Structures are given as C-alpha cells and as structure tokens.
Amino acid sequence: MLIKIGRPNDVKSSEITPQSVFMDRRRFMMAAAAGVGLASVSLPGGAPAAKFEGVVKGPFGTDEEQTPFEDVTRYNNFYELGTGKGDPARNAAGLKTRPWSIAVGGQVAKPGTYDFDDLVKPHMLEERVYRLRCVEAWSMVVPWVGFPLGDVIKRLEPTSKARYVAFQTLHDPEQMPGQRRAVIEWPYVEGLRLDEAMHPLAILAVGMYGEMMPNQNGAPIRLVVPWKYGFKSIKSIVRMDLVEHMPPTAWNKQAPREYGFYSNVNPTVDHPRWSQRTERRIGEFLRRETLMFNGYAEEVASLYAGMDLAKNY
C-alpha cells in the first residue's frame, strides 16, 4: 500500500484546487437545478458556493473542535484521484457529479437505478459532527451533511436473505486519473454487515461544513461510518447491492493481512507496519490516545458482542 504521511501544509498552495474552483458556477447551477435545498453565497473572487438550507442538527455529534475546512479538503485519501495526500485536490476539477445515479440490486424488493434526487431529499438532511480516524494514525473532526443509510435501505425493502451491503465507486479513468494506475484493483468496492449499515450512526453524506461535498472528498455522495477507519467510508458511490454473503472489499483484496473486512478502530490491534494506539489530529502537534471504536463504543460495541476483535479486525 503506497501511503505518504505528511502534514497538511506540506502541499504547495500552488498545487491546490481553490474552493472557488471546485465550487464553481457551473456546479452550483446544476446542484440548484437538482433541488436539494441550496442557496448561493459569495466566495472570494465572486464564485458562488452551494450552501444547504434547512439542515437540522443530527444526533450523536461530538462537540470537539472541528478540523479547518482547508485541511480537510487539502489533505485526504481518494486514490481514484491520486495516491498523494494533495492529489485529490489537484485532480478534483475533472470529476463530473451531475447527472448522477446509483444502481441498486441484490436482495431488495425495489431494485433499479435511482437518480441522486430520488435518494436525497432536502427534508432528510442533517449535520453530524463526527470524528474520522484514518488507518495511517491521523484523524480529523468534520461536520458532515447527510442522512442515515438505514433510511435508504428501508425504502428499498430488503428481503430475508439480505445480510450485507456492498458498495462500488465510480470507475472512469478519464475523470479519475488515479485509476489509470493499478495501485489497487478497480473499481473500489466496500461492504458492511447489514446491522452495521442500519445503525443510526452510519450515514450517506452529500456535503460538509454546510456546503455541497467537494469532489476531492467524495462528491456527490459518500459513506461515513465513524467507528471504522476512514477507508471504509467509500466515496463517489454508483452502486449498492444487498447480498447474502460477505462481499469483497478493495483493501482487503489488496492486503488481507493489513485490512480486514470489519476495520473497526481498535487501538489494541496494531497495523503490521505501525501502531494504532495513538493518533495525530490534523492541526495539532502532540499525539493523542486512540479511542476504541473511535470514541463510539457506547453506541456500537453491542454489534460485536462475543466476537474476537483481534481476529475479526
């Protein structure tokens, strides 16, 4: 796995896609036409950003200090846009997020291809401030805008055979230059157990910091599972299947010794190449102790009662 650890300010400012670019007028107009409750606000340079209206405060949020927007959008993992922490921001402008649809299949009564706006309704949106812990031992706190994944699954009417949910990212090397290299097996795929997906902490996010999701952070729709390592939160989702058997996942296929299916934050289980016991919050100098389940043990520990969490890593 090719991962470069660095500081957010290691990325040259000249190589970063400015907020006024990835929130440009064309994207704003398409989003407004999609009817997801947006309003225009001016950014430096006169370009409008897409601000959500009427978003309510969701449950489970942390009151920890939020990581600055600039750091979250300039220092992240999105291998479809490049393996370096600054690559996603540099390469994000070519990703077209409208029109967008998600194909749904498998063990559901209502399979089909759903337009983004059939899944996302303005009245559904909540802001949830979640910690995000990355397997490379860095973390951040982000105010996501989204809605419970479980609500979507219920609308699809799972059959009695549904046990897992499998996800797939867009595969388009023309838009996603990182996919032109065989860093991992494309397309990127992920999965959750059905009860994990139905847990109210798991959300589908369409924005953050009150605005539309930036391309480099997984636009237009991504998964956020805050008690798991960040790579489980698959970005730019185009397919979701409810299946009977455990689905393959991208990093587990690539390096099964390092990345298990569950990928719960567990500081007592070291990654083969580094310790998970401490982490560095972006923007902070000192390291902090990593919390079990990323601090969400009270909410999710019951999902894994009786399981060996070192074996089921």
DSSP track, 110-125: S-EEEEHHHH--GGG-
Contact 242, 261 (CB under 8 A): no
CA distances from 297 to 226, 237, 261, 266 (A): 11, 27, 18, 10
28 compared with 144, residue with greater pLDDT? 144
Contact 168, 264 (CB under 8 A): no
Q: Is the dihedral of CA 77, 82, 83, 88 positive or negative?
A: negative
Give the model's pLDDT for residue 29: 37
Give the model's pLDDT for residue 40: 42
For 194-206, write each residue's pLDDT tens digit: 999 999 999 999 9
| Mean residue pLDDT across the chain | 87
What distance in Å separates the CA atoms of residue 286 and residue 279, rounded to the nearest whole number? 9
Q: Hey, what domains does the chain have and what are their CATH numbers? A: 8-303 (3.90.420.10)
60: pLDDT confidence band, cut at 50, 70 and 90? confident
Contact 83, 150 (CB under 8 A): no
pTM reported for the whole predicted model? 0.86
Contact 178, 120 (CB under 8 A): no
Average pLDDT on 214-233 reads 98
Buried residues in 158-192 as b, exposed as e (16+ CB within 10 A): beeebbbbbbbbbebeebbebbeeeebebbbbbbb
Name residue, tokens 């059959």. 159
Give the model's pLDDT for residue 53: 85
pLDDT at 14 over 50: no
Average pLDDT on 249-269 reads 97
pLDDT at 1 over 90: no
Give the model's pLDDT for residue 32: 42
Cα 5 from chain centre: 19
Average pLDDT on 132-153 reads 97
Give the model's pLDDT for residue 16: 42
Closest CA to 138 of 204, 74, 230, 58: 230
Contact 105, 113 (CB under 8 A): no
Give the model's pLDDT for residue 36: 54
Cα 44 from chain centre: 27
What distance in Å separates the CA atoms of residue 271 and residue 255, rounded to the nearest whole number? 11
Give the model's pLDDT for residue 38: 58
pLDDT at 303 over 80: yes
pLDDT at 10 over 50: no
51 conformational bin, left if phi > 0, alpha if psi -120 to 50, beta if neither: beta
β-strand partners of 170: none
Give the type of residue at 18: P
Which residues, 6+ apart, have CB-to-CB distance to 207 below 8 Å? 50, 52, 125, 144, 145, 146, 213
Preceding peptide of 44 cis, ω within 30°: no
Instruction: Give the three-class secondary structure for 7.
Output: coil
